[in-house]
């Protein structure tokens, strides 16, 4: 697993050990395709990486010019792995890592130390496939002032899964499939 493009291009990231079954990194191939689609969304973005795992999605965004990234995962091993990968890439000054259980509440993201000024403009949601949590998390984001108007959410789930065309205030604008991974792209409608 490596950073594909940008200032940290080619940097190898630490991967989860063989005993860490709760972390499923997005493949390099799928990540490369995803960031080709996101090309114009990344530079200057305020990124939120939920169920961050290794941090690869947020780190790829930072490497490609995102302004900042907040990484959230509930697992202690994942949080440690994210910290190591941030250090490998040299992005500490642009990063915040939080250990939180996202199934409980996202209210912690409304606290000044956790949220980006003006809200997050790019959000990655990559829960374990078996949990089917993507829709729940999108609903929760819609209830709070966490995502900026016009912000983009990218939800990853099993490619055979289904997510609705609209989860107020977000509307589905695209869906792509790469092997077992499916990506749903939601845009926050201006209020």
* pLDDT tens, position by position, 121-172: 999 999 887 777 899 999 999 988 889 999 999 999 888 888 899 998 999 9
Is residue 45 situated within a structural domain?
yes
Query: Cβ neighbours of residue 24 under 8 Å, at least 6 residues apart?
Result: 53, 128, 129
- The domain tally of the chain equals 1
Asked whether the whole model's pTM tops 0.85, one would answer yes
Is residue 23 situated within a structural domain?
no
Q: 106 lies in which domain range? A: 29-188
Is residue 135 situated within a structural domain?
yes
Angstrom distance (rounded) from CA 23 to CA 54:
8
Using CA atoms of 74, 80, 83, 84 in order, give the dihedral in degrees to the nearest 10.
-150
Is residue 184 situated within a structural domain?
yes
Beta bridge partners of 97: 71
User: What is the SS3 assignment for 187?
Assistant: strand
Instruction: Give yes or no for a contact between 71 and 97, defined as CB atoms under 8 angstroms apart.
Output: yes
């Amino acid at each position: 697993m490596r950073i594909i493009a940008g200032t940290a291009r080619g940097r190898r990231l630490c991967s989860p050990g063989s005993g860490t079954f709760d972390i499923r990194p997005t493949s390099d191939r799928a990540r490369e395709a995803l960031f080709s689609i996101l090309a114009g969304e990344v530079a200057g973005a305020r990124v939120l990486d939920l169920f961050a795992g290794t941090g690869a999605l947020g780190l790829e965004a930072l490497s490609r010019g995102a302004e900042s990234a907040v990484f959230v995962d509930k697992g202690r091993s994942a949080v440690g792995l994210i910290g190591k990968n941030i250090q490998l890439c040299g992005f500490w000054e642009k990063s915040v890592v939080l250990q939180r259980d996202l199934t409980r509440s996202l209210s912690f993201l409304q606290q000044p130390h956790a949220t980006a000024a003006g809200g997050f403009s790019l959000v990655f949601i990559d829960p374990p496939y078996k949990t089917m949590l993507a829709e729940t998390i999108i609903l929760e984001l819609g209830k709070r002032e966490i995502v900026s108007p016009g912000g983009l959410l990218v939800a990853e789930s099993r490619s055979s899964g289904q997510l609705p065309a609209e989860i107020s205030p977000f509307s589905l604008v695209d869906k792509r499939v790469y092997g077992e991974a499916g990506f749903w792209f939601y845009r926050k409608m201006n209020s």
